[in-house]
Structure 1
């Protein structure tokens, strides 16, 4: 069974898709009322599921007329997106950011779920059994190499 965070995330992504645009504006309190949860739950979903690594920019305005704007980053081509990701993950990358980027790559249909799991197993902290920050630096170098390979297979 999916948890409330998964349901809220899916709902917001469906609104983005249904509007046919890459931008939505929501009121945190209205979404919280709709899902009968506390507003901080909406913050949690937005802060963890709509990140730059996952391909989103979030803007907010506080106050009575406040809103949260979620913008889906669009690229002219997948090569441009991969270049952006490479810049984002260097010189080091955490395991969580790696997972977020892999989710984005699956969503953009650049990798399959199977390929993402294989990549993740190679970049996992158990596989890269080094102390921090070396582990995150090595992960970034390996992931960059994988992304460069994907970039040239996309053409």
Structure 2
């Protein structure tokens, strides 16, 4: 654990809890106190590590009795998952979010390890011009096209 930063430790803790149950309700301040960090660190972890692309739905209620609920999303059939991923990608996607989408497809046995590697190469930042807005749009189009193609693939 020495090489892990605080975000990694908080993520690991929350995922451990989620492995025991499909949803968890937390209070930001309580988790921040548990890890001796600022509440914004908890927000950062939840916003970057528990996204729909990674298979989590996050709900929150602000105020005195507020909470953050993290729910592990259950996948339906492959076609529904692929449609959902295409919808999530939208018109633009960052390299990190694209990698999360590919990882999610691989973890759920929708794509093979080889397919995942090829998709990761296609979304890698070194394949693009360096103008972030345009790169993210091209990356989204490429990824959506690959995922849409998976819907019509012949079974092996």
Q: TM-score range by the shorter chain?
A: 0.7 to 0.9
Matched, 1:5 2:7: yes
SS where residue 53 of structure 1 aligns? helix
2:143 and 2:126 map into 1 onto residues whose CA distance is 16
Q: Deviations over 1:4-39 (max 9, x none)?
A: 1111111111111102x2x21011111112212221
Q: State the match for 2:55 in structure 1.
A: 55
Q: State the match for 2:37 in structure 1.
A: 37
Instruction: Tell me how far 1:117 sits from its aligned partner.
Output: 4.1
Instruction: Tell me how far 1:46 sits from its aligned partner.
Output: 0.5
Instruction: Tell me how far 1:127 sits from its aligned partner.
Output: 1.0
- How does the TM-score come out when normalised to structure 2? 0.81
CA RMSD of aligned residues (A): 2.4
Moved more, 81-90 or 71-80: 71-80
| Matched ranges for 1:4-153 at <5 A | 4-19=6-21, 21=22, 23-111=23-111, 115-129=115-129, 131=131, 133-152=133-152
Residue ranges of structure 1 left out of the alignment (5+ in a row): none
Moved more, 23-32 or 71-80: 71-80
2:35 and 2:108 map into 1 onto residues whose CA distance is 28
2:74 and 2:51 map into 1 onto residues whose CA distance is 14
CA distance 1:132–1:15, change in 2 (3 Å): closer
1:42 and 1:154 map into 2 onto residues whose CA distance is 43
- How does the TM-score come out when normalised to structure 1? 0.81
Residue pair 1:57, 1:72 contacting (<8 A) in 2 also: yes
1:147 and 1:117 map into 2 onto residues whose CA distance is 14
Q: Deviations over 1:65-111 (max 9, x none)?
A: 21111122212223211110012213332223212212323443434
Q: Deviations over 1:120-152 (max 9, x none)?
A: 222223212274544333222221232234445
